Structure 1
Amino acid sequence: MALKFWVTAPFFYEDTRRPWADVLNDMLEIVDAAEELGFEGITVNENHFQNYVANPSSLTFSALAAQRTKRLRIMPGIVVLPYYNPLLIASDMTMLDHMAPGRVGIGVARGGSPYPLHRIGVDPADARAIYEESLEIIRKVWTEEDVSYDGKFFSFPKTTVMPRPASDPHPQLFVGAQSVDGVRKVAAQGLNLITAPNYGNFEPHGDLQELMSTYDAAVAESGLPRGEVMVLRHTWVGRTEEEALEYFDDVVNEYNYYLSLTGSKATSAANRESRQAVRNEREPVVVERGRMAPAQETVSTEGLWEKYDDPVMSTPARMIERFKTYEAMGVDHLVCLIAMGQPNSAIIRNMEMMAKEVLPAFADAAHPAGIQ
């Protein structure tokens, strides 16, 4: 299967003087462009109580996106399961599944930041165990009726989620993991994987290969069928190398917001072992009136292409070359994080250029891609 391209709706809201409705309309323009230009799907970011990802409900936005599209696949995610009762997530997703049958999925994870957990009364130390119970419950109630459960965090008598899923057997499920241990656990359960750089961006070459090798080895050991793999990359295409770096400062700025939200330090990512381990350090997250204080890391453009596998900022030909290596590794879906603070008009133009110059190189006879 040829590599398929997605975009993301990140809801980055750096300038909070703007009406939030303008951000909403920007994200809807990205949805419309993705539908028109031949991208396979869109992932919808979600987070709470700060302006890095200012979207408190990816499922609500996904329902809106479903109603204005006909073929685009839509995936709320990452949905952090410890924020929610799993029965309600399962129920909401079956409703969304009926709104766009065969076109919706969900990406889930335990969460990378303790900041929202503290505000809703969840101990971050419990996040992993809550996530594991939640995932077990969601998978079970989607495929079985009259499910009862008695766990540490969730207990309920016989319950049937209604309506039942429209998709067979249920909406597609991707599980987020960025560490070697996390990827191994996803693969061992035969689940689909969605992954991204563990420290947000500026990931050196070789890290993705290591994660893909880990995933494939764990699948082989499990004896289960291999799931699909979705990889996020920060992308910007230009006719020249100089043009591709026009908005490099926005990429660095978005990176600093990510480091701040997750409480990560760039210095902790000095070697591959630490980059691919579960993040344990937690710097204080500074938020005033909903506005985050980003980290202050600086990154040079010198040798960017040679040093880093992410971001991918270059000409169409070099982009194609790199994405072909992903395809050869077994990556099934590439999620392009294009919106990092640039004007939305520039983002749409960049999507148009990708659709015209990059996507057709990955089209197959059954599923043409890009502008026709």
Structure 2
Amino acid sequence: MAMKLWATMPFFHKDRSTPWADVLAEQLDIAQAAEDLGFEGVVIPENHFQNYVTNPNSVGVAAAVASRTTRLRIHPGVFVLPYYHPLLVASWMGFLDALAPGRFSFGVARGGGRVGFDRLGIPFEESLGMYTEALEILQRAWVEDDLSWDGKYYQFPKTTVVTKSRNPLDIWVASQSAEGIARVAEGGLNLETSPNYGHFEPHGDLDELLKTYDAAVAASGKPRGEVMVLRHVWLGDTEEQAMEYWDDLVNHSNHYMTIVQGGRENKDLTTQEARLGRRIDGAAVNDFITGGFVDVVPVPRSKENLYETHNDPVLTTPDKMIQRFKHYESIGIDHLLLHQSWGQPGAAVIENMEKIAREVMPALED
């Protein structure tokens, strides 16, 4: 099977002057373009209380996308499992599958930052335990009737998720560190990733993570799951055209880095070990979001020799983009998630999706 291209609906709310309803409308346009242009699917992220990702309900958006499309695969998430009771998540997925049978999958994660935990009153230190228990409940609730549970974090009497369907529950786990990715492989689960601090990722990090994943699969004896990787991309006829929205990309990346580093000073990420290590969030820091908008801590970036030095972003011409994508395919990536909306006009995003469908996608077909 050839590697398939997906689109993401990033819900980046660039500035306060734009109503959120306009952001939503642009994201739905991306999904419609993905359907029309032959993308395999669309990923719908969910996050809360900040403008980097301003979608509080990926289930609702997924339902809207399902009502407008006929063949597009739809992937809500990731659900930070400690935020939700796992029985509710299992029920929601059954509801979505009934709307568009066989077209849904969804992503789950432990949660890599404190913003949501601190505001929802969920102890961040318990996130791994809550996630692990919730994932097991999800996997069992989808196939078992009268499931009862008496765990550390969840307890309930015999319960049946009545929205089960005949389609298997297609769970993907989002992870970015070498430690987390090995855990996904050991569980025989599908992986969605962008190496830790995946914005402006140097060459070699993604290859190393895939080696870690494959080694853990081999050691586990379980079948290898599928792998989806996110890349920030923009296609131009020339290198200069491909850099047209460079400043927007840097601004978008600054939002991400500020959130994952808790508004603190930039960490030393000059070594691969640091970039692929698990993020350790210390004490809660709550003074880097004002009025729902991130007070960004700038990270110096250079576009000199970007293609030659970085694996992400991929801002280049058709021949070089095809070359890079074929490398991804060669190291075992099944689905490539293209992030093309980081502050550009919505019409420009759709035009670039059309250009990729016309000039890159055919080269990836079987």
Q: TM class by shorter-chain length?
A: over 0.9
Pairing of 1:101-250 with structure 2 (within 5 A): 101-167=101-167, 169-170=168-169, 172-250=170-248
2: CA distance, partners of 1:295 / 1:199: 15
Partner SS, residue 48 of structure 2: coil
1: CA distance, partners of 2:246 / 2:166: 43
- Using the size of structure 1 for normalisation, the TM-score is 0.95
Checking the alignment, whether the CA contact within 8 Å between 1:200 and 1:258 is kept in structure 2 is no
1: CA distance, partners of 2:357 / 2:214: 30
Percent identical residues: 51
Q: Which residue of 2 aligns with 1:361?
A: 363
Checking the alignment, whether the CA contact within 8 Å between 1:94 and 1:166 is kept in structure 2 is no
Q: Which residue of 2 aligns with 1:88?
A: 88
1:229 counterpart letter in structure 2: V
Question: What whole-Å deviation, never above 9, does each CA across 1:41-78 have from its counterpart, x for those lacking one?
Answer: 00001100111111001111011101100000010121
| Deviation of 1:281 (Å) | 4.5
Pairing of 1:14-53 with structure 2 (within 5 A): 14-53=14-53
1: CA distance, partners of 2:299 / 2:285: 16
| Deviation of 1:354 (Å) | 0.3
1: CA distance, partners of 2:114 / 2:327: 35
1: CA distance, partners of 2:267 / 2:243: 24
Please, which of 254, 258, 261 is the counterpart of residue 260 of structure 1? 258
Checking the alignment, whether the CA contact within 8 Å between 2:142 and 2:161 is kept in structure 1 is yes
| Deviation of 1:197 (Å) | 2.9
| Deviation of 1:149 (Å) | 1.0
Partner SS, residue 268 of structure 2: helix
Q: Which residue of 1 aligns with 2:62?
A: 62
Question: What whole-Å deviation, never above 9, does each CA across 1:135-184 have from its counterpart, x for those lacking one?
Answer: 111011011111111111101111110111341x22x1110110001000
Checking the alignment, whether the CA contact within 8 Å between 1:7 and 1:42 is kept in structure 2 is yes
Checking the alignment, whether the CA contact within 8 Å between 1:254 and 1:341 is kept in structure 2 is yes
2:5 counterpart letter in structure 1: F
| Deviation of 1:266 (Å) | 4.4
Checking the alignment, whether the CA contact within 8 Å between 2:198 and 2:312 is kept in structure 1 is no
Please, which of 339, 351, 354 is the counterpart of residue 352 of structure 1? 354
| Deviation of 1:292 (Å) | 1.2
Checking the alignment, whether the CA contact within 8 Å between 2:114 and 2:281 is kept in structure 1 is no
Q: Which residue of 1 aligns with 2:320?
A: 318
Gaps of 5+ in 2: none
| Deviation of 1:208 (Å) | 0.7
| Deviation of 1:287 (Å) | 1.1
Task: Note if 1:342 corresponds to 2:344.
Answer: yes
1: CA distance, partners of 2:257 / 2:73: 29
Partner SS, residue 52 of structure 2: coil
Checking the alignment, whether the CA contact within 8 Å between 1:16 and 1:51 is kept in structure 2 is no
RMSD over equivalenced CA pairs, Å: 1.2
1: CA distance, partners of 2:244 / 2:86: 43
Q: Which residue of 2 aligns with 1:370?
A: none
| Deviation of 1:8 (Å) | 0.4
Q: CA 1:235–1:266 in 2, change beyond 3 Å: closer, same or farther?
A: farther
Gaps of 5+ in 1: 365-372
1: CA distance, partners of 2:132 / 2:270: 30
Checking the alignment, whether the CA contact within 8 Å between 2:113 and 2:281 is kept in structure 1 is no
Partner SS, residue 47 of structure 1: coil
1:79 counterpart letter in structure 2: F
Partner SS, residue 233 of structure 2: strand
Q: Which residue of 2 aligns with 1:13?
A: 13
2: CA distance, partners of 1:99 / 1:208: 35
Partner SS, residue 141 of structure 2: helix
2: CA distance, partners of 1:363 / 1:16: 41
- Using the size of structure 2 for normalisation, the TM-score is 0.97
2:137 counterpart letter in structure 1: I
1:291 counterpart letter in structure 2: F
Checking the alignment, whether the CA contact within 8 Å between 1:232 and 1:335 is kept in structure 2 is yes
2: CA distance, partners of 1:152 / 1:97: 30
1: CA distance, partners of 2:281 / 2:15: 28
User: How many pairs were matched up?
Assistant: 362
1:89 counterpart letter in structure 2: V
Please, which of 289, 298, 301 is the counterpart of residue 299 of structure 1? 301
Q: Which residue of 2 aligns with 1:369?
A: none
1: CA distance, partners of 2:17 / 2:231: 29
2: CA distance, partners of 1:146 / 1:337: 41
2:79 counterpart letter in structure 1: V
2: CA distance, partners of 1:103 / 1:345: 27
2:192 counterpart letter in structure 1: I
2:346 counterpart letter in structure 1: N
Question: What whole-Å deviation, never above 9, does each CA across 1:233-280 have from its counterpart, x for those lacking one?
Answer: 000010100000110111111111001111265443210001001011
Partner SS, residue 142 of structure 2: helix
